[in-house]
Structure 1
Amino acid sequence: MVPLQELLWFVSVLAVAGAVAGFLAGMFGIGGGAILVPVLYQAFTLLDTADSVRMHLSVGTSLAVIVPTSISSFRAHYKRKAPDLALLKSWIIPVPLGVIAASVIAAWVSGSVLRIIFAVIAVLVGLRMIFNRESWRLGTDLPKNPLRAICGFFIGLLSALMGVGGGVLNNTFMTTFGRTVHQAVATSSGVGMLISLPGLVGYLWAGWGNTDLPIYSTGYVNWIAVVLTIPITLFMAPLGAAAAHGLKSRQLETAFGVFMLIVAGRFIWSIV
């Protein structure tokens, strides 16, 4: 039986995480996972969740929350006709395939490996966004297939291993090939749908039957956290999208980079 005081603290942490994650989902097109995963990890620690499943549970629960959040964020950006719909259509198959591969990997690797993956990618992306230069561009337009499909596969793979909605990597991919950060952010909200839906199913499968999971968990998804977090993220996502369109491109890039370094620092600290 979980003590009432710890349960109330758990709920409070999730409420704050949901508000921040929802706002960032709209602002950065990241689905909120980059903030939800580290916060959920700490929250599950409060409930003495087994270390062997804590990171997996954080990632899987984050993907479940991202499903409605990414849909809400995409609708807000779609009304402004901002997403690259052609890119999204070309990734309908490659991105989910990457997510499926990530689910298989997650069923076998340890929580420490998932934390290392999260931290390394977050550092690289954060530094790239902060010190972004025109000379770092690889082209003036997105690559054609098969390279485009390959990129989509790895964006799906790595994002699902991190428990994020794809914006972390897709923002970098699109801006590297000459697209504006505003269009990248808007398109990333659509990529979040391609990642979170198969990711939810995959993590349910990967953790099915694990006896170390806390109450009200199915596979690597904790439904208490999902139910508490979703309403708040849905409310905050449109506000974040509106804020994104009020910032200059360089301001948005720098803010995104700083945010990623902060998240990476939290996980590096937990590993050390």
Structure 2
Amino acid sequence: MFYLWLALCGCMTGISAVLFGFGGGFVVVPLLYRMLLGSHDPAISQSAMHVAVATSTCVMIVNALLASAKHRRAGNLIRHYLWPLGGYIGLGAVLGATGAMLASGESIRYAFIAYLALTIADCLLRRGFLQQAERRSARRLGRGETLGGGLGIGAIATFLGVGGSVMTVPLLRRCGLSMTQATSMANPLSVPVALAGTLTYLALARFSHFDLGPWYIGYVDLLAFVVLTLGSLLGVRLASPWIGRIPDGLHARVYIGLLVLVMLSMLAG
């Protein structure tokens, strides 16, 4: 039953990656955290949040690359929004993963909830998200937005085990992009977060005092990773026909609704 739930979760991550830019963290972290918390192995239950976050970043590599390929073929990616922002996000991701290793699982959980609450409030209260900015052409990101935004997105996203889409999507949305374009761009921008985060967790896990077992590399649960990845392949395939077909306003509202559901799930945990 555990792996059936993970397969369904993987399918959801594939769908969310293609349609909303969520590489997996906002689905994988809450579910895997709750499952591992009830483990009979004390080492695993005590490391539940770290395992959930590390495995999430690993799954995001696959989801983000698959979704990016789909959106590239659909013509939704705009190069100057991806670089150098993606490079700064990767640098920030290393800092975020290092910070997460020094923090307790419970503090990461509360940070995850607070992050979601602030993002939801920002999307609802600040102009430019629920309705696409009325401008003839989208503006480019400024230098400060690229440097500060990239480092901040990378650090926060990797600390929490998410792809950073809840920061990149609102940022690009306020540049005048449609929800389809903004969520499309979130996938390739999640790749440096996923790569840097996974490699950092693997490197730093050697300092852990816990022996999590043979099916773990560092904090990454290999069995969970395989099952989630197989499920995500199906999810990507199911969601691909819907690229660009969701009305912009509805797309934005559903995006916020998903954030609310994830936050409530983590509060319940």
Alignment partner of 1:187 out of 170, 185, 188: 185
Deviations 1:106-143 (A, max 9, x none): 12111111111211121222344456644997x96243
1:206 corresponds in structure 2 to: 204
Q: Structure 2 matches for 1:10-159, cutoff 5 A? A: 10-49=2-41, 50=43, 51-130=45-124, 133-134=127-128, 141-159=139-157
1:135 and 1:44 map into 2 onto residues whose CA distance is: 35
Counterpart for residue 169 of structure 1 = 167
| 1:174 shift after superposition | 0.9
Distance in 2 (CA, whole Å) between partners of 1:206 and 1:104 is 8
Letter paired with 1:237: V
Determine the C-alpha separation between the residues in 1 that align with 2:238 and 2:96. Answer: 31
Secondary structure of the residue that 1:253 maps to in structure 2? helix
Displacement of 1:265 in angstroms is 1.3
Distance (Å, rounded) in 2 between the aligned partners of 1:134 and 1:228: 38
Shift of residue 100, structure 1, vs aligned partner: 0.4
Q: 1:107 to 1:174 in 2, by over 3 A?
A: same
Contact in 2 for aligned 1:166/1:192 (Cα 8 Å): yes
Determine if contact 2:128/2:173 at 8 Å carries over to the other structure. no
CA distance in 1, matches of 2:129, 2:98: 37
Secondary structure in structure 2 of the residue aligned to 1:177 = coil
Q: TM-score, normalised by structure 2?
A: 0.89
Root-mean-square deviation (CA, aligned residues, Å) is 2.1
Which deviates the most, 25-34 or 231-240?
231-240
Between 1:56-65 and 1:203-212, the stretch displaced more is 203-212
Contact 2:21–2:185 (Cα < 8 Å) also in 1: yes
For structure 1, the residue ranges without an aligned partner over 5 or more in a row are: 1-8
Distance 1:130 1:246, change over 3 A: farther
Count residues with an aligned counterpart: 261
Alignment partner, residue 234 of structure 1: 233
- Measure, in 2, the Cα distance between the counterparts of 1:124 and 1:248: 25
1:150-184 CA deviation, whole Å, 9 max, x = no partner? 10111111111121122121111111232221111
TM-score by length of 1: 0.89
Query: CA distance change for structure 1 residues 214 and 95 in 2, over 3 Å: closer, same or farther?
Result: same
Distance 1:247 1:187 in 2: 16
SS in 1 for 2:171: helix
Structure 1 counterpart of 2:150, one-letter code: G
- Contact 2:93/2:196 (8 A) holds in 1: yes
8 Å CA contact 1:72–1:238 kept in 2: the answer is: no
State the one-letter code of the partner of 1:57.
V
Deviations 1:217-245 (A, max 9, x none): 12121111111111111221243243242
Cα offset for 1:34?
0.5
Change (3 A) 1:77 1:210: same
